[in-house]
């Protein structure tokens, strides 16, 4: 192992990363490059257990920067989907109000405004392939974490128990690690997302498939925001963001695994919309995923500890803004740099140096995200979105 003082912070330390999303896997890769002893504990039973969601775009200053430092940018260039970033703003009748597809393709990774798209599953596979064998322990849903002398004891739903010297909570919105650092709870953002996937879209939803042209569709109206994405496996992923009460999932009386009830709800919610949209709803795989949206308070903070921290949604949860994965991967990069720096004499100092800017940028993006929640659900949202694209 490198004998620099900063790297010695991790010497003979067992590092547990709870959560195998992009942030956790990026951190594992970066720390392994420095010779650290890292294990990722992921609740999924296997890499293929759960269908990954919509495509995501990586940004020059965050997600792409992390991949570059991880030595994975060339692998990403082979895995990303050129043209998947092309978007169309459409109205409820599927009239195109704005279209990216007529513009010249930009595939310049040195261009700071280039935001290449990749399927979530492909990004996960890329990161998994970069790790040492057996780095990820599957079927490991954390149920309890408690201090044990100068370390932490982690107990999982499968009955196993491990001890780690340093724990990183990368376990998302319902983090089991977060309460060890702060009692501050995210607040309900005022919207709930109904998400679905349509397999073999060319056959099951041919008109929408053609309208997408391998990219994305956006439409906002009557307090709803519909986002549709083409995926590399030929499926379509979509979500509807609705302004509803926080307990809507428990009080709406709808069984989203029942096709008949689902159709009745959709006909009511999308009354007056063009029939083309019902291709999505008629062919969607059931049950739909219902995701109430939460956001961290803008004044959150906590006292840094010597052997536990957070990254990604576990640290700074917010509604979708296009920044979530990018922030998580940037967190991973900066955390790895602090833990392996010559600058810090203790892990607590290193974690404090990481957490201060991480929390600050998380707060700023949370504010932007909540501003987006407001305007994306107004009657003029399509006009505003077209204006933003035209800029």
Res 103 pLDDT > 90: no
Q: Are strands 224-230 and 236-243 parallel, antiparallel or unpaired?
A: antiparallel
Task: Report the binding-site residues for FAD.
Answer: 57, 120, 313
Task: Report the binding-site residues.
Answer: 50, 57, 120, 313
Most confident of 59-63, 80-84, 258-262, 372-376: 59-63
Total Cβ atoms within 10 A of residue 167: 24
Res 234 pLDDT > 70: yes
Alpha helices in the chain (DSSP H): 5-8, 22-33, 63-69, 73-79, 120-129, 201-204, 206-212, 248-251, 259-269, 278-283, 313-316, 324-339, 347-376, 381-390
Q: Are strands 236-243 and 56-57 parallel, antiparallel or unpaired?
A: unpaired
pLDDT of 185: 94
Q: Between residues 285 and 138, which one has the greater pLDDT?
A: 138
The pLDDT of 269-276, averaged and rounded, is 90
pLDDT in tens, 195-226: 999 999 999 999 999 999 999 999 988 788 99
- Domain 5-51+120-185+300-376 superfamily per CATH: FAD/NAD(P)-binding domain (3.50.50.60)
pLDDT of 101: 87
Residue 389 confidence class, pLDDT cut points 50, 70, 90: confident
pLDDT of 1: 37
Task: Report the binding-site residues for NADPH.
Answer: 50
The pLDDT of 39-43, averaged and rounded, is 97
Res 49 pLDDT > 80: no
Give the contacts of 86 (CB within 8 A, at least 6 positions apart).
100, 101, 103, 213, 214, 215, 216
pLDDT of 309: 98
Residue 152 confidence class, pLDDT cut points 50, 70, 90: very high
Residue 51 confidence class, pLDDT cut points 50, 70, 90: low
pLDDT of 97: 95
293 neighbors 191 (Cβ within 8 angstroms): yes
Distance CA 125, CA 371 (A): 33
H helix or E strand, kind and range, residue 162: strand 161-164
Query: DSSP letters of 326-380?
Result: HHHHHHHHHHHHHHT-SS-SSHHHHHHHHHHHHHHHHHHHHHHHHHHHHHHTSTT
Between 78-82, 129-133, 147-151, 264-268, the lowest mean confidence (pLDDT) is in 264-268
In this structure, is the dihedral angle defined by the CA atoms of residues 334, 339, 340 and 346, taken in order, positive or negative?
positive
Which of 189, 193, 197 is CA-nearest to residue 54? 197
Q: Domain spans of the chain?
A: 5-51+120-185+300-376, 187-295
Q: 187-295 maps to which CATH number?
A: 3.30.9.30
Which of 120, 323, 328 is CA-nearest to residue 237? 120
Res 306 pLDDT > 50: yes
Q: Are strands 56-57 and 37-41 parallel, antiparallel or unpaired?
A: unpaired
Res 330 pLDDT > 90: yes
pLDDT of 106: 73
pLDDT of 2: 40
The pLDDT of 23-39, averaged and rounded, is 98
385 neighbors 378 (Cβ within 8 angstroms): no
pLDDT of 118: 95
Res 329 pLDDT > 90: yes
Res 54 pLDDT > 80: no
Res 334 pLDDT > 70: yes
Res 6 pLDDT > 60: no
The pLDDT of 318-333, averaged and rounded, is 94
Res 26 pLDDT > 80: yes
Give the contacts of 99 (CB within 8 A, at least 6 positions apart).
88
Helices (H) and strands (E) in the chain, counts: 14, 17
Give the contacts of 224 (CB within 8 A, at least 6 positions apart).
240, 241, 242, 243, 269, 377
Compute the half-sphere exposure of residue 238: CA atoms within 13 Å on the CB side of its CA: 27
Res 104 pLDDT > 80: no
Res 303 pLDDT > 80: yes
The pLDDT of 285-303, averaged and rounded, is 93
Which of 67, 80, 75 is CA-nearest to residue 33? 67
Q: Between residues 5 and 307, which one has the greater pLDDT?
A: 307
The pLDDT of 26-42, averaged and rounded, is 98
- pLDDT, the chain, mean: 92
Give the contacts of 80 (CB within 8 A, at least 6 positions apart).
58, 116, 117, 118, 122
């Amino acid at each position: 192992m490198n004998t620099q003082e900063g790297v010695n912070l991790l010497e003979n330390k067992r590092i547990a990363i709870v959560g195998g999303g992009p942030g956790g896997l990026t951190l594992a890769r970066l720390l392994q490059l420095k010779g650290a002893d890292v294990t990722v504990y992921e609740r999924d039973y296997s890499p293929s257990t759960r269908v990954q969601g919509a495509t995501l775009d990586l940004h020059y200053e965050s997600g792409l920067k992390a991949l570059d430092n991880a030595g994975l940018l060339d692998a990403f260039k082979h895995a990303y989907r050129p043209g998947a970033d092309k978007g169309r703003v459409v109205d409820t009748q599927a009239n195109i109000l704005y279209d990216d597809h007529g513009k010249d393709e930009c595939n310049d990774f040195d261009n700071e405004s280039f935001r290449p798209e990749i399927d979530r599953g492909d990004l996960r596979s890329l990161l998994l392939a970069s790790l040492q064998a057996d780095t990820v322990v599957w079927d490991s849903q954390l149920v309890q974490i408690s201090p044990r002398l100068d370390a932490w004891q982690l107990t999982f739903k499968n009955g196993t128990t491990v001890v780690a010297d340093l724990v990183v909570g990368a376990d998302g919105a319902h983090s089991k690690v977060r309460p060890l650092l702060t009692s501050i709870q995210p607040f309900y953002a005022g919207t709930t997302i109904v998400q679905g996937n349509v397999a073999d879209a060319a056959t099951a939803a041919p008109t929408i498939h053609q309208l997408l042209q391998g990219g994305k569709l956006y439409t906002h109206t009557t307090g709803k925001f519909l986002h549709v994405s083409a995926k590399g496996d030929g499926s379509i992923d979509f979500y509807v963001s609705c302004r509803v009460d926080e307990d809507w999932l428990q009080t709406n009386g709808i069984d989203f695994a029942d096709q008949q009830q689902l159709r009745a709800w959709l006909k009511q919610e999308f009354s007056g919309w063009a029939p083309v949209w019902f291709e999505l709803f008629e062919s969607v795989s059931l049950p739909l995923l219902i995701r109430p949206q939460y956001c961290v308070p803008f004044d959150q903070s906590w006292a840094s500890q010597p052997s536990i921290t957070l990254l990604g949604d576990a640290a700074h949860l917010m509604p979708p803004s296009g920044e979530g994965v990018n922030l998580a991967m940037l967190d991973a990069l900066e955390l790895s740099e602090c833990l392996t720096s010559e600058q810090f004499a203790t892990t607590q100092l290193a974690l404090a140096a990481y957490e201060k800017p991480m929390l600050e940028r998380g707060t700023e993006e949370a504010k932007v995200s909540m501003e987006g929640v407001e305007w994306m659900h107004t009657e003029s949202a399509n006009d505003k979105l077209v204006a933003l694209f035209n800029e």
